[in-house]
Amino acid sequence: MRNSILAMLALAAICVCLVGADQPATTKKKLSALQVEVRESLARFNDWIGEWRGVGQERRGSTRGGWQETGGFVWNFDDGRVGIVYSIEKSKHLKTGTLSWDQKSKQYTLDAVFADDSKQRLAGKLDEGRLVLESIPPNEPAADADVWRITFRQLNDKRMTVLYEKRRATQKLYLRVGEVGYTREGTRLAASDATGPECVVTGGAGTIAVTYKGEKYYVCCTGCRDAFNDDPEGIIAAYREQKAEEAAKKDTSKK
């Protein structure tokens, strides 16, 4: 009887393995509808992807208290979360932040880590080309708690600014604490270009070549490269499906 039970358990284990083996990796790793929405909402910031050199000023027109920093934006697909990671070296204010999209509030969010290692989530919307994000305070914030407002503004494909303002939780008026003027490091890395290769992950300008089964594709940053290498078949299938949908829409509009 004991041998029969063991045999049945072994057979069941084999069946489970066979069922799992029949499911392709692309099905297991395919982006959910929410992840696709987040990626599409963030795609408008593809021009930010890359490395930037920054000069910071506490007050405009004054070098007193100024500093230099380097910042970089890269796509992130780790742990099933889609976002753009902003990392800064030698910054006076922000160390790093993950930019994402909140489906419920229809707002952009930034999970920020500041220079003093404090953490806050900021949220906001695009306003005439500026991304304005404000701290989401707790229900009963301490009177001396900092409330931040960070404004990203891209001037062109090679220039952008990041403005930092903050206030106390009991105050209403924001005070400027610094602004960083960025210049793109080196050549243009991720601005959309209809004449050049396209990132197979996000649709930005492809600048890094990757290969799979002898075929060459392009991605816009190391984050997209890692996502491609983790699941090339799923990424390629999703890209081809998206291009087919775009072609179908164009054909429909011509009729």
Q: Do 180 and 200 reside in the same domain of the chain?
A: no
Q: Do 174 and 107 reside in the same domain of the chain?
A: yes
Of 107, 101, 136, 108, the closest CA to residue 120 belongs to 136
Per residue in 67-118, pLDDT tens?
999 999 999 998 778 999 999 999 999 999 999 999 999 999 999 999 999 9
Structural domain range at position 239: 192-247
Per residue in 29-58, pLDDT tens?
567 888 889 999 999 999 999 999 999 999
208: confidence class by pLDDT, cuts 50, 70, 90: very high
Say whether pTM exceeds 0.95.
Answer: no
170: confidence class by pLDDT, cuts 50, 70, 90: confident
Last residue of a domain, one of 184, 216, 237: 184
Q: What distance lies between CA 198 and its chain's CA centroid?
A: 17
CB 136 within 8 A of CB 146: no
CB-based contacts of 161-168 (< 8 A; 24+ apart in sequence): 162/54, 162/71, 164/93, 164/94, 168/143, 168/144
Q: Domain for residue 158, yes or no?
A: yes
Q: Do 168 and 57 reside in the same domain of the chain?
A: yes
In angstroms, the CA 239 to CA 236 distance is 5
One-letter amino acid identity for 11?
L
Q: Domain for residue 15, yes or no?
A: no
Q: Do 62 and 172 reside in the same domain of the chain?
A: yes
**H or E element in which residue 227 lies:** helix 222-230
